[in-house]
Amino acid sequence: MKMLRSFIPDTLLIALAVGAFFAFPYDLAFLTRIVIMMIFVLSIDLILGLGGIVTLGQAAMYGTGAYAAGLFAVHVSNDPLLGLLAGMAAGAVIALMSGLLLMRAGGLTLIMLSIAVAQVLAEIANRARDWTGGADGMRGIRMGPILGQWRFDFIGQTGYIYCVVVLFVVLFALKGLKASPLGLMARGIHESPARMRAIGAPVYQRRLILYTIGGAIAGIAGALAAQITQLVSLEVFSFTLSAEAVIMLILGGAGRLYGAILGVLIFMVVHHLAASVDPINWLFLIGLMVLLVVFFLPKGLLSLPPALQRLIGGAR
């Protein structure tokens, strides 16, 4: 019974994804952006929410994945799935390499270093104009059909389904990881690294593994963005991207995977609606929303139902 109950949110999510496809046939481009962002924020939830590794530089892996997938499409093969693997591998490699240093640090040092990694990569991409197109962006990415079957269409139906499938694969993989010994150990490290070390857990090594997996997932998100937009710009490494993703995670609630999905959905839908109603002053509304949530629901929107329950219970 308990086993069954744990699948309710997933069934709901799948129904939501399918429903959105039919309910908003004209907004698939926007929905696809939301799905890609969800994958990216999930990668942050893994390292920040689960492992307690606070960084503001996850865009480093996202951007690397995007450029890797772009270069792969231009120079090697236009197969989307192979490109996705290339992006994933590139994200993992960058996370592993930078993680060797970063995972030895903590707190503010870690935050600063993670930002620095993204900045350095952005500068490298800017310099390597022949490869990346520099500030003009990398163009010429043309994707082939998925599995030789489904072409990317103008309306974005293929793109949406493709990204949704990847999202669910990532989500289920992360659910498995969360329940695995590695996931449990990560939770322990999050709560008290000193104690974990005392019981003999290899803290540094486990954090490095977690960070690398997070990097691989961020790389997947970047690769999807490159394949859908067919252009990669230097902004994939921007600090704003990393920071906004963390805000979305906190909005939804960190450490529970569904928080990442809810946070991205609410943030981007409000952003989209507010920005199309009032293209000049919409930022105010977003700011207000984040303020209210952080103030009244410090654990994110996911904690809204229990909070309401408490409120009603308390009134009685």
Partner 1 sequence: MTFITKRQLAVTVAACLLAGAAQADTIRVGVIAPFSGPFAIWGQQFQQAIEVYQAEHGTEIGGHSIEFLYRDTGGVNPDQTRALAQELLIREGVDYLSGLVFTPNALAVAELATQSETPTVIMNAATSMITTQSDYFLRTGFTLWQVTVPMADWALAQGITTAVTAVTDYGPGIDAENAFRSAFEAGGGTVLDAIRMPIQTTDFAPFMQRVRDQAPAAVFGFLPAGPPTYAFTRAYNENGLREAGITFLGTGETDETTLEALGEPAMGLHTAYHYSAAHESEMNHAFTARLAEMFPGSVANLASVGAYDGAALIYHMVEVAGSDGPAAMQAAMGHAWESPRGPVSIDPATRHITQNVYIRMVDRDAEGRLINREIDTIEAVPDLGLSQ
Residue nearer to partner 1 on the CB measure, 135 or 179: 135
Pure H helices in the chain: 2-5, 8-23, 28-44, 59-75, 80-102, 107-127, 129-132, 157-179, 181-191, 193-198, 203-229, 239-252, 258-277, 282-296, 304-315
Q: How far is the CB of 26 from partner 1 (least distance, A)?
A: 4
Contact 245, 86 (CB under 8 A): no
b/e per residue, 49-66, with b = 16+ CB within 10 A? bbbbbebbbbbbbbbbbb
Distance of CA 192 to the CA centre of its chain: 25
CA 103/CA 183 separation, integer angstroms = 17
Q: How far is the CB of 230 from partner 1 (least distance, A)?
A: 6
Q: How far is the CB of 303 from partner 1 (least distance, A)?
A: 30
Residue nearer to partner 1 on the CB measure, 25 or 298: 25
Residue nearer to partner 1 on the CB measure, 129 or 195: 129
Q: How far is the CB of 154 from partner 1 (least distance, A)?
A: 6
Residue nearer to partner 1 on the CB measure, 247 or 275: 275
Rg (CA), the chain: 20
Tell me which residue of 186, 296, 211 sits closest to 251, measured CA to CA.
296
Residue nearer to partner 1 on the CB measure, 102 or 268: 268
Binding site for partner 1 (CB under 8 A): 18, 25-30, 32-33, 36, 126, 129, 134-137, 139, 153-157, 225, 228-235, 275-276, 279-280, 282-283
Q: How far is the CB of 277 from partner 1 (least distance, A)?
A: 11
Residue nearer to partner 1 on the CB measure, 154 or 295: 154
Q: How far is the CB of 174 from partner 1 (least distance, A)?
A: 23
Tell me which residue of 8, 18, 30, 37 sits closest to 260, measured CA to CA.
37
| Cα 72 to Cα 58, 81, 94, distances in angstroms | 21, 11, 16
Q: Which residues contact 129 (CB under 8 A, 6 or more apart)?
A: none
Strand, coil or helix: what is 106? coil
Q: How far is the CB of 278 from partner 1 (least distance, A)?
A: 9
Contact 102, 221 (CB under 8 A): no
Q: How far is the CB of 136 from partner 1 (least distance, A)?
A: 5
CA 242/CA 238 separation, integer angstroms = 7
Q: How far is the CB of 156 from partner 1 (least distance, A)?
A: 6
Residue nearer to partner 1 on the CB measure, 18 or 269: 18
Residue nearer to partner 1 on the CB measure, 60 or 232: 232
Residue nearer to partner 1 on the CB measure, 87 or 300: 87
Q: Which residues contact 34 (CB under 8 A, 6 or more apart)?
A: 264, 265, 268, 269
